[in-house]
Amino acid sequence: FQGSQAKSPLEMIVQNRQLDIIMHPVIQKLIEVKWKLFGRKYVALMLTLNLILILSWTALGIASSLPRTEEVPYKFPEDCWRIVLIIIALGLTLYQILEEFKEIYQAKKRMKRWKEWRKKELEKDLKYCHPMWPEEKEYLQKGIEDLHKVNSGYFRDFWNIFDWIVYFLLLAVSVTHIADVTIQNNTAIHTNHVRIFAVTIIFLWLRLMKHARAIRLLGPFIVMLEKIMVDVVKFLFLYGEFYIPYACAFWIIFGGKVANMASVDQMLFVIFRITLVDDYGFSDMYNTDAVMAYILCGTFLGISSILCINLLIALLADTFQRVYDNATANAAMQQASTLLQIEDGLGKKQRSKYNKHFQDDCSPLTLFYDDDLTVNQEDELKKVTIQIKEEIDELIEMVRKNKVRQQLADMPDRKAHVGEPKPSPKKTNHKTVARTEAQQLKILTMLPMLIASQEEQRETLIQITNKLLALEKFILESDKSP
């Protein structure tokens, strides 16, 4: 796609979240090659920088909460380390904000070029529309009109929005800190600064998942958290349908009359504690109005604790199962999304270098092949197991045939014996002896066949035993190998 504004197959797969196509071996190999070329280096660098940024701001937040022994906010040379941490934290923050502006500019520029290219392609197709099929012309004209509605996909990524939330919180921390240093002996400003800092540190640590999602071991769990947030929003809507009217009812009956419901915020938190089956002061409500205490507490406890909480657990379990079933595909999707962002930020020299590598070395891709190294142990284990099963089935069939053959051989003697009249004990001595001798001769003739059959069965059992021992040895070696 060099020299063209058309979107690459990988970009279309990520844009439309095609989990089945991304698991194709060719696409998987493309992701693997790109990850080795430039993906893991960039991800390792960004994880390192973000970890330094997070630790710097965390250390500053903990230091800001410490009580001041002097009137001045900084005392030198004891507080020199705080100045160093502030310089590092602000420097890394400004660098990442500049990178965000650069990404926004590149996304708009790339979208503009694509819209111009797409419009030219559609206008070129308009020349070949036949009057007999006016719907083709209408379709192309509608496509040209829809191009004006297409915008840059920068803010469609949740993590980009989350980045700006963190940056605004860091800006609020910086502004409140400057105000705290400038206006001394103001407890309210210092308290608000510490509060904002505490909230910012939580969001700052959560932001680390943006770059950790490219690691395949962590990607599915980060996707799981994103999906869970959607389920929590759904649950909050249902929970609010019960929470708001019950809050009004509790305030009407017990507002200002019970110690833990003296204000609205206390009352709201007490109702939330009912959902968690926590201590919510039922005895005080009972002393105020016993009937309404039973009615309101009992019904809200059943609806919120039993119905709503179990519904939330079911939603989260369903989301976990859906994401976990496609864990490999979700991990590959997160890795591909990160690779596309890295690729968009590459310079012209780096891009041409990697394009040349794909054109010269990956079209086609040459790989070393060795039977001893490329045999999958799981496939080999399946083959051995299937072979043993087939041989056991053959052995069982052979034993069954021998039994049937022996029964068929015995059937004529039984029929002849049944059809003969019962002789008297005095006149059948010679016949009994002759029949006994005939049976002995028949047994002697069948004995070699039975011995040969037993020998064959014994050899087959020995072979199966040897194969089972080899299979056990193979499984033990595969368990010991890393």
Which pLDDT tens digit goes with each residue over 173-217?
Answer: 999 988 888 887 778 888 898 999 999 999 999 999 888 888 888
168 has a pLDDT exceeding 90: yes
pLDDT band, very low/low/confident/very high, at 415 (cuts 50, 70, 90): very low
Tell me: do 192 and 130 sit in the same domain.
yes
The answer to whether the CB of 232 falls within 8 A of the CB of 216 is no
Tell me: do 25 and 148 sit in the same domain.
yes
Distances (CA, A) of 421 to 56, 238, 240, 424: 111, 92, 97, 9
Say how far apart CA 22 and CA 44 lie, in whole Å.
24
Say how far apart CA 449 and CA 401 lie, in whole Å.
13
Residue 143 or 373, more confident: 143
Q: Torsions phi, psi of 68, nearest 5?
A: -90, 130
Q: Is 231 a domain residue? A: yes
Q: Is 29 a domain residue? A: yes
* Number of domains the chain contains: 3
Closest C-alpha among 459, 437, 219, 470 to residue 332:
219
Q: What is the DSSP letter of 422?
A: -
Interval 244-255 mean pLDDT: 91
Q: Which of 294, 325, 356 is where one domain is finished?
A: 325
Q: Which of 177, 212, 247 is where one domain is finished?
A: 212
| Average predicted confidence (pLDDT) for the chain | 81
Closest C-alpha among 249, 252, 315, 247 to residue 275:
247
pLDDT tens digits, residue range 67-120? 766 666 677 777 788 889 999 999 999 999 998 898 888 888 888 888 888 888
- Structure tokens belonging to residue 277: 């089956």
Among 160-174, 313-327, 373-387, which range has the highest average pLDDT?
Answer: 160-174
Q: Is 416 a domain residue? A: yes
Residue 405 or 353, more confident: 353
Say how far apart CA 35 and CA 334 lie, in whole Å.
12
Tell me: do 170 and 52 sit in the same domain.
yes
Tell me: do 206 and 243 sit in the same domain.
no
Instruction: Compute the CA torsion angle 268, 272, 274, 275 (nearest 10 deg).
Output: 150
428 has a pLDDT exceeding 90: no
**pLDDT score for 201:** 94
Say how far apart CA 233 and CA 200 lie, in whole Å.
22
Tell me: do 319 and 466 sit in the same domain.
no
Q: Is 110 a domain residue? A: yes
**pLDDT score for 80:** 85
Tell me: do 397 and 467 sit in the same domain.
yes
Structural domain of 397: 372-480
Tell me: do 192 and 228 sit in the same domain.
no
Q: Which of 154, 181, 212 is where one domain is finished?
A: 212
Instruction: For residue 365, list its beta bridge partners.
Output: 362
Q: Is 334 a domain residue? A: no
Tell me: do 18 and 141 sit in the same domain.
yes
405 has a pLDDT exceeding 70: no
